[in-house]
Chains A and B, each alone.
Chain A
Amino acid sequence: MTTLEDRSAATEGPGPVAEPAATPEVSFDTSPEAYRHWTLSVDGEVATLTLDVAEDGGIVPGYELKMNSYDLGVDIELHDAVQRIRFEHPEVKAVVVTSAKERMFCAGANIKMLAASPHSWKVNFCKFTNETRNGFEDASAHSGLPFLAAVNGTAAGGGYELALACDQIVLVDDNSSAVSLPEVPLLGVLPGTGGLTRVVDKRGVRRDLADVFSTTAEGIRGERAVQWRLVDASVKARDFPQEVARRAAELAARSTRPGAGAGGVALTPLRRETDGDTTRYEHVRVVLDRNSGTATITVLGPAAVPGTVEELQEQGDAAWLLAATRELDDAVLRLRTNELAIGTWLLRTEGDVATTAAYDEFLLANRGHWLVNETIGFYRRTVKRLDTTSRSLFALIEPGSCFVGALAEIAFAADRQFMLEGIWEDAAEEGREALPPAVIRLDEFNTGLLPMSNDLTRLQVRFLGSAAELAAAEAAVGRDLLAADAAELGLVTSTPDDIDWEDEIRLVVEERASFSPDALTGMEANLRFAGRETPETKVFGRLTAWQNWIFQRPNAAGPEGALRRYGTGKRADYDRKRV
């Protein structure tokens, strides 16, 4: 996802850029009126996303976003736009991604931004951009919303990877515009948003040709790009608009989206109140404890269940699961980006088990409806964000919680599950509500509707080693599982009673805080994704393993490394030993 931005200015170069003094707090709030880099236009069944990056619009000061290169701010808009197409524009059946710049589709991630960023920022940035690109493919697969990359200029590095996330790529044939992955030959790093994986895995480019392509800085253009399967079509500039329109219409015709008259749901600004280390949304509460390095994230269950899907539609973005998911997604993104030292997240729910179960039933009964489908899809992507979050996740299943179906997936996304056995014995004495013992209840959300990026359910991954244990857990669907049942089924890690609870949690949190954060991130990622690989797991896994390694190596990041020397006119001086 690195870039060819500003090759003409090769003499000045980024050089050793100082890290930004203080990384500002990142907000993910935006809306089309506020976009600085993208335009979302809808014309009948086709939406067009046009990239026209404002050079002075970097999210952090210190670099210019030349030649349609992007940073996190650009991608936050893209993510928002795709969400809006999904919820606000059910009439849209195909999306065209294109550029407003002359002869430049997109130059990828801004290299000066990368050179100036701390490692953690690069990683968070890559993670988010990957999730956004995966979101294209998710929309195509689960919402019948295909994407077409109208590559009307050069697509380099992250620019080509953006196109690779689309279902089809049309490249303009103007004898100069090319697609390329110049990271290896020019920058000594790898494409960071799944470029290599998608070239061979998704587009089926022959591996030797992919090798040539990935080491050819100027890239491949015209008919050869088509022959190598790097793009689907190479079209003369004068025919380009018509060809794009024709293909978009064709894609739209195959779409399963509801089309005109469906009536979208407006995504209004999130209401978020922050008071010190507590952030409250309507259905989500986040409390930070900086001493222990924890965030307690509590998701509140539904208060009522809509009677009909019309009623759900009327509720708009106030409908419980949509609202709660938006809030949880926002909380996860903000914590990931802004709270690096909060290393352990304690995941809780609060609410009525029966109502939560009824809400799940309502969704399941109406899953054919586009809005229900989109809501479930959004929730699925949000729980996946938890899977790829580099924090220790512990689920706390206590009396008063509602880990049912969809919400129970939050617990299964966690690295460990602690379930309180029995009740809070002293609740009455202490003037608190006497709550019945905690239960977990499984439903269809746990047995297939919310797969992880490896296409397995969290239960399948959990019980990879035993078909019998998986069958036993799946057979427990619909039952209220008390701590002892959950422990017997292997759904929870430990079940302290109220006497031990506080100490157990404190000790496990303190112990976690004493380990190397890097080793934990690596360990957790290794353990979370048991089972088969998919292109999506490869994208994340290889990025984490290879790119992070390369980013730390002197050959890329050292003073003589390619990333640092890029643009200075000096050649990188490599340590020639293969590792």
Chain B
Amino acid sequence: MTTTESTPQSGTVTGDAPRPTGPLSKIDYSERIPNNVNLAGDRKLQRALESWQPKFLDWWKNLGPSIPTHDVYLRTAIAVGRDGWAHFDRVPMEEYRWGIFLAERDPDRTVAFGHHKGEPAWQEVPGEYRSDLRRLIVIQGDTEPASVEQQRHLGMTAPSLYDMRNLFQVNVEEGRHLWAMVYLLQAYFGKDGREEAEELLKRNSGDYDSPRILGAFNEETTDWLSFFMFTYFTDRDGKYQLGTLKESGFDPLARTCEFMLKEEAHHMFVGTTGVQRTVQRTAQLMKEHGTDDIWEYGGIPLSVIQKYLNFQYSVSMDLFGSEVSSNAASYYTAGLKGRWMETRRKDDHLLTDYTMEVPGIESGRMTTRTVPMLNALNLDLRNEYSADCENGVKRWNQELEEAGLEQRLFLPHQGFNRKVGAFAGHHVTPTGEIVDEATWERSVGEYLPTAEDRARVAELMVPHHEPGEFAGWISPPSVGINSLPVEYDYVRF
């Protein structure tokens, strides 16, 4: 499916949760937990959730947003239909109704690729792939609450109520994405699944003893520029991972991810517009004062924005794993994880006879080598991702162009600052030059944010918690949420 990076359309309050079928439980599940998985009639799921839900709420209280609020103008998914998935209302955050939604089932869906191509999509986990599927779901699930933990203190320094609301919207939806993965674990993986669901709450971002699984999710998000960069680049990795799982032969996983992608589109929107508004303000100050060094005028210099971009892009590239991967090949052949837009690709969807050029470095020079396509699927996905990342950069550069400035932002070379894959262990500059250790050490401060850069950005992070107020380093958006004015009190204390 395509995700559009715009405000969600038709955000009016319509559409009910589906009528529950089966014996009714004492608790009104459809009210407390909006869902379209017949929770009210599913004893197994009810029991699993009964023990998990309080633990989730505890986690939210302890590791969710740290700034106390009264209520927030939030979107809640209450049904999957066109109207139901974007229901807006003021909600106290701890009363947010995290729900469980899968995209509508296509009864004729078949496995689109790999060894099982053409077989009916699986409605149950095939025992053969149980542990692989569980692993994929756990890894995806682990990233969802991680970003909430990473961003928990950002509310304190929000540049406006509008932005604070967007942060919280992303946070509650990441929470719902956790629910979505937990649903799969509890509904389809028995006891092991329930145990894994609990572990998802026990690992915490940056926790020394029990960190999140992927490295990028253990770094604290310190300021709003890195939040926007994270949401643009790292959430986008999530979007692409979801895109591959959306093709999965395991139908409930595919349907879950398809629905999550709708919400992910909003997160992309927050990142794209967040950086764009920052650049807009920077361009304005540069033009006004005729200098790049706009710190003293309360803006973030373009070079620092580029360094933040360099950092977030390169660590997000690492999340795709090694360019050459036998796991990726076996997930594909097994039908567990497809390619981005798998069904639109014009090939045999088996890939056993295809090859792909994989970049790397040999004897100090950029090279490529040919590997079986099946082994290069991580790279295939990463290339799709990189191309997508370019779109935002274009949009940001438009702000510079409109301000009549020469400078431009750009995506660094794929080998820049990489810790995983073919470029790990080498020093590649943002423009793609291979340099030695000493040269790298001398110039790294020009490529990546220095401690001083971060400190100066942090100085600018002064909270603006009055309706309609915006911090000086960022421009206000042109429209508000759900056709409300920009000055609306999106968050109340």
Q: Is this pair of chains taken from one and the same complex? A: yes
Which residues of A does B touch, CB under 8 Å?
425, 494, 496, 499-500, 503-504, 506-514
Contact B127 A513 (CB under 8 A): yes
- Closest A residue to B42 by beta carbon equals A499
With A499-B43, A499-B47, A500-B44 as contacts: A510 and B191 at CB distance below 8 Å: no
A546 to chain B, nearest CB (A): 32
Picked from A500, A504, A506, A512, the residue with its CB within 8 Å of the CB of B124 is A506
| Interchain Cβ contacts within 8 Å, total number | 37
Name the residue among B127, B128, B131 with the largest chain A CB count within 10 angstroms.
B127
- Closest B residue to A501 by beta carbon equals B190
CB neighbours (8 Å) of B422 from chain A are none
Picked from B43, B124, B128, B188, the residue with its CB within 8 Å of the CB of A514 is B128
Q: Compute how far the CA of A366 lies from the CA of B7 in the bound complex, rounded to whole angstroms.
A: 84
Q: Is the contact region of chain B dominated by helix, strand, or loop, or is it mixed?
A: helix
CB neighbours (8 Å) of A500 from chain B are 44, 190-191
Contact A509 B127 (CB under 8 A): yes
Asked if B289 lies at the interface with its beta carbon under 8 angstroms from chain A, I say no
* Contact flags B92-130 to A (C-beta < 8 A → 1, else 0): 000000000000000000000000000000001111111
* Listed A/B pairs (13) with beta-carbon separation below 8 Å: A425-B43, A500-B44, A500-B190, A500-B191, A506-B127, A508-B127, A510-B126, A510-B127, A511-B127, A511-B128, A513-B127, A513-B128, A514-B127
Name the residue among A496, A500, A508 with the largest chain B CB count within 10 angstroms.
A500
* Closest 4 pairs (CB-CB, A-B): A510-B127, A514-B128, A511-B127, A499-B44
B359 to chain A, nearest CB (A): 35
CB neighbours (8 Å) of A496 from chain B are 190-191
Picked from A425, A494, A499, A510, the residue with its CB within 8 Å of the CB of B130 is A510
Chain B residues 138 to 195 lying within 8 A of chain A, measured CB to CB, are 188, 190-191
CB neighbours (8 Å) of A503 from chain B are 124, 188, 190
- Closest B residue to A495 by beta carbon equals B191
Q: Compute how far the CA of A511 lies from the CA of B189 in the bound complex, rounded to whole angstroms.
A: 13
**B: number of interface residues (CB 8 Å):** 14
Q: Compute how far the CA of A506 lies from the CA of B125 in the bound complex, rounded to whole angstroms.
A: 10
Contact A504 B190 (CB under 8 A): yes
Contact B125 A507 (CB under 8 A): yes
A285 to chain B, nearest CB (A): 24
Q: Compute how far the CA of A254 lies from the CA of B128 in the bound complex, rounded to whole angstroms.
A: 57
- Closest B residue to A426 by beta carbon equals B43
7 other A-B residue contacts (CB within 8 Å) besides A504-B190, A511-B131, A514-B128: A496-B191, A503-B188, A506-B124, A506-B127, A510-B130, A512-B127, A513-B128
CB neighbours (8 Å) of A425 from chain B are 43
CB neighbours (8 Å) of B124 from chain A are 503, 506
CB neighbours (8 Å) of A507 from chain B are 125, 127, 130, 190
CB neighbours (8 Å) of B43 from chain A are 425, 499
CB neighbours (8 Å) of A512 from chain B are 127
B265 to chain A, nearest CB (A): 34
Name the residue among A504, A507, A514 with the largest chain B CB count within 10 angstroms.
A507
B333 to chain A, nearest CB (A): 13
Q: Compute how far the CA of A514 lies from the CA of B131 in the bound complex, rounded to whole angstroms.
A: 12
CB neighbours (8 Å) of B190 from chain A are 496, 500, 503-504, 507
- Closest B residue to A512 by beta carbon equals B127
Q: Compute how far the CA of A425 lies from the CA of B43 in the bound complex, rounded to whole angstroms.
A: 11
CB neighbours (8 Å) of B188 from chain A are 503
Q: Compute how far the CA of A11 lies from the CA of B417 in the bound complex, rounded to whole angstroms.
A: 75
B329 to chain A, nearest CB (A): 17
Q: Compute how far the CA of A550 lies from the CA of B5 in the bound complex, rounded to whole angstroms.
A: 66
CB neighbours (8 Å) of B131 from chain A are 511
A29 to chain B, nearest CB (A): 36
- Closest A residue to B125 by beta carbon equals A507
CB neighbours (8 Å) of B126 from chain A are 510
Q: Compute how far the CA of A510 lies from the CA of B124 in the bound complex, rounded to whole angstroms.
A: 11
With A499-B44, A500-B44 as contacts: A494 and B191 at CB distance below 8 Å: yes
B119 to chain A, nearest CB (A): 14
Q: Compute how far the CA of A494 lies from the CA of B43 in the bound complex, rounded to whole angstroms.
A: 21
Q: Compute how far the CA of A462 lies from the CA of B188 in the bound complex, rounded to whole angstroms.
A: 31
B71 to chain A, nearest CB (A): 37
Q: Compute how far the CA of A508 lies from the CA of B126 in the bound complex, rounded to whole angstroms.
A: 10
B21 to chain A, nearest CB (A): 16
Q: Compute how far the CA of A504 lies from the CA of B127 in the bound complex, rounded to whole angstroms.
A: 9
* Contact flags B28-58 to A (C-beta < 8 A → 1, else 0): 0000000000000001100100000000000
CB neighbours (8 Å) of B47 from chain A are 499
A52 to chain B, nearest CB (A): 51
Contact A511 B191 (CB under 8 A): no
